[in-house]
Structure 1
């Protein structure tokens, strides 16, 4: 069980450790990630680190949980800012795709670690949590926009999965397709969602 820091100085040290863990994970990769490297990066003793994080796994879990929450918050804020969702409007799908792209581009190094290096069991819960939050928001928006011919939850799932997977591969693979072209293609692909 992770000890919770009580004093401001201890909380600041824990934040430094978490930021250092994120830096080391991106810089060195999952296989080379160690608590000693994190302690060195954070300029704390290994004993201080172990007071709050018993092992490598606890550190990686904290980094993943925070990263997932950051992306989720960014996407939710962007969706909320777009106003009512109308799947017949290509601008809506474009706004959703743009929000997701912006969120995942903000830390492409960590995205690469999550998708290509971490054992799936290490990040699936955080990934599903993010997908569920975005999907639930989108389903509510779809329902509010009067989409009744099909199940808004099913439509939201398909949109989120398609956009997420294409966006992640675009960020990681850098296929030579411009951001604008990608957003155009995602909008065109989702154009059929406005049909009955």
Structure 2
């Protein structure tokens, strides 16, 4: 279904051209951010005329919305695939499942982060972008929480229904901050990405598997 601000392609050649334009716009966002994604630059990179872009997208806002839907459709598909694989690991100790869920969430955000960052910033002033972005956030939360709440009987926190969504927010918010502002923006302490992921994993394990003295019940 066509999104607002774009026209439905009618022929295969038009679909191929549309794909080239979207890929070029995605790369422009990745390389130069929102301000660098100008129609003339996208057209040149796609090997089409500026008129060809406007034949398919009403304006720059229409193009950016199409790019966002394209990117987030890929994010949604990757998230579903990653968590579907984890659902099949029934024999994995719950501590290991927590670690895998944290890693899957952070890795999928990071994988698409170079394009997601500019889109997230633009969403602050564009309700349409924000609505589509919220749908992906909700999907990520549902996948993460459903996976871990299915093993709620093995968690040691008193209210898993609240604690698991809190764990999700800790990981997701950190991952989104990283791709939006860069790993060190506004922060005093520099932390390598692999170390940050390790610490987030430990944080979630300790929080969800804590005993009375705060220790983790299972082996990691």
Shorter-chain TM-score range: 0.7 to 0.9
2:202 matched to 1:188? yes
Distance in 1 between the 2:198 and 2:171 partners?
12
User: Of the two, which has the highest radius of gyration?
Assistant: 2
Shift in Å, 1:48: 1.5
Cα distance per residue 1:31-74 (max 9 Å; x no partner): 23222221122111122211210000111111111212222222
Give the drift of 1:108. Answer: 3.4
Which aligned runs of 4 or more in structure 1 are off by greater than 6 angstroms? none
Alpha carbons of 1:89 and 1:109: their partners in 2 closer, same or farther (altered >3 Å)?
same
1:39 aligns with 2:39: no
RMSD over aligned Cα atoms: 2.7
**Helix, strand or coil for the counterpart of 1:30?**
helix
Quick one: which of 53, 71, 76 aligns to 2:75?
71
Distance 1:93 1:167, change over 3 A: farther
Tell me the TM-score normalized by structure 2.
0.74
Q: Which moved more, 1:39-48 or 1:51-60?
A: 39-48
Deviation at 1:85, TM superposition (A): 7.7
> Which structure 1 residue ranges, 5 or more long, are not aligned?
none
**Number of residue equivalences:** 193
Pairing 1:55-94 to 2, within 5 Å after superposition: 55-83=59-87, 89-94=94-99
Q: TM-score, normalised by structure 1?
A: 0.82
Aligned partners of 1:139 and 1:155 also within 8 Å: no
Residues 178 and 92 of structure 1: CA distance in aligned 2, closer, same or farther (over 3 Å): farther
User: 1:90–1:187: 8 Å Cα contact kept in structure 2?
Assistant: no
| Higher share in helix | 1
